Structure 1
Amino acid sequence: MARVRLTVDGLTEAAGVLADQVGFENVTVAALARHFGVKDASLYAHLRNAADLRTRIALLAVDEFAGRVAAAVAGRAGRDALVAFADAYRTFALERPGLYAATQARIDPAITSTPPSYLRTIEMTYGMLRAYGLTEPDLTDAVRLLRSTFHGFCTLEANGGFAAERDVPASWERTVEALHVLLEHWPRAGTAAGTSAPTGAAPPHRVT
């Protein structure tokens, strides 16, 4: 990898690439210093500690992910938006495995406030699902379903977990299509339990 200037942004971008190569959990200040062929102390002029480095990688990851999803779903709704969102998610997870792992890391509020790109991703997800006529608590339930399905599928694919001869991209397309059908026929909260769901609720700014 070509050397970059030892700046906070340059180090963060390099750490993101390193995470893709060796895994997010293996990126440390020492590993990054070895990558540049310098002493650890050279990086501490720009980074406070390992937690600071990991937080910066996570922020970079969330920002890139949000940008990809926003570009994919722009001007789309319903099934088209779902397919675009899903494909952007899978592409990011497979192309940038280290950064994808970083998006799953919890950002310590004591270190930094919730990044705008994270809130943007939440808003886009909830907005996409509102097009299916969902309101709370169904919105949050649907977000959790999509997140767990996408994460599980992409993690298994990346780890070589699909051994059957069936074409994996074909299975992905069928999975997304099945989610679309389910969202169109979502079992509303209260239909089985006898309670009614609140309407017009705003998406909560929290991990779902």
Structure 2
Amino acid sequence: MDRPQLSRAAVIARGAEIADTSGFDSVTLAAIARSFGVQTPSLYAHVRDLAALRDGITVLALDELAERIGEAIAGRSAYDALAGFGNAHRSYVQDHPGRWESLQRRAGADAVAAPAARRIVRVNDAVLLGYGITGDDRTHAIRIVGSALNGFLQLERIGSFAHSTPAAEQSWPELLDSLHFLLTHWHGRESLRTKEKS
């Protein structure tokens, strides 16, 4: 029997497949080695250790997600871009749950510095620019949007919405509408605070 052709890309891709099938926590060097029919030490020529492997999956997920978002928001602005942005995240969670899990963690320095991470920043910026949000406000806004989307998607993924009505499918556009309202009125926040305090 021919030995499989191992490479860094092949090892990371197999790890991503295992993550999607069995969960991100199930990704180990031993599990990947077994899937290739090789001994674990054979993988060290391609990935430094488990942390590097998992960061590799994170970078792969960032790259795939950035590609999906880019296609979803191309030529769109304001609500249409936000909806494309949110729907791209939601479809990615549904298609690649394990890879998405790899994004819900503190990644290593190599992953943070990867070109894929910069691509994600660019598509985030593209959405916020449609609302005129720049500077430090951009950081605050993307944290708020990201927290809302990721919180909803995590709860939906683990079935937290399955036992109540209406269905999560009906709540999703409500979430997007609420975020759109927030971003549209972003620059009026200070006056609102002042009015409420007076």
Give RMSD over aligned pairs: 2.1
Question: Do the aligned partners of 1:107 and 1:114 also contact (CA within 8 Å) in 2?
Answer: no
Identity of aligned residues (%): 37
Q: 1:25: how far off?
A: 2.1
Corresponding position: 1:123 with 2:122: yes
Q: How does 1:29-108 map to 2 (within 5 A)?
A: 29-108=29-108
Q: Which runs of 5+ in 2 are unaligned?
A: none
Distance in 2 between the 1:166 and 1:113 partners?
38
Corresponding position: 1:150 with 2:144: no
Q: Which runs of 5+ in 1 are unaligned?
A: 195-208
CA 1:56/1:127 → structure 2, altered by over 3 Å: closer, same or farther?
same
TM-score calculated relative to the size of structure 2: 0.87
Match of 1:6 in 2: 6
Deviations 1:27-54 (A, max 9, x none): 1101111222322122223222112211
Question: Do the aligned partners of 1:22 and 1:98 also contact (CA within 8 Å) in 2?
Answer: yes
Q: Point out the more displaced range, 21-30 or 143-152.
A: 21-30
Q: 1:122: how far off?
A: 1.2
Distance in 1 between the 2:147 and 2:174 partners?
16
Q: Point out the more displaced range, 58-67 or 5-14.
A: 5-14
CA 1:113/1:175 → structure 2, altered by over 3 Å: closer, same or farther?
closer
Q: Which amino acid aligns with 2:182?
A: L
Match of 1:204 in 2: none
Distance in 2 between the 1:56 and 1:11 partners?
9
Match of 2:179 in 1: 179
Distance in 2 between the 1:76 and 1:116 partners?
24
CA 1:135/1:190 → structure 2, altered by over 3 Å: closer, same or farther?
farther
CA 1:186/1:113 → structure 2, altered by over 3 Å: closer, same or farther?
closer
Distance in 1 between the 2:31 and 2:180 partners?
43
Question: Do the aligned partners of 2:29 and 2:50 also contact (CA within 8 Å) in 1?
Answer: yes
Question: Do the aligned partners of 1:33 and 1:43 also contact (CA within 8 Å) in 2?
Answer: yes
CA 1:139/1:112 → structure 2, altered by over 3 Å: closer, same or farther?
closer
3-state SS of paired residue (1:44): helix
Q: 1:189: how far off?
A: 5.5
Aligned residues: 191
Q: Point out the more displaced range, 71-80 or 126-135.
A: 126-135
Q: Which amino acid aligns with 1:181?
A: F
TM-score calculated relative to the size of structure 1: 0.83
Q: Which amino acid aligns with 1:170?
A: Q
Q: Point out the more displaced range, 180-189 or 69-78.
A: 180-189
Question: Do the aligned partners of 2:63 and 2:119 also contact (CA within 8 Å) in 1?
Answer: no
Give the structure with the higher percent helix: 2
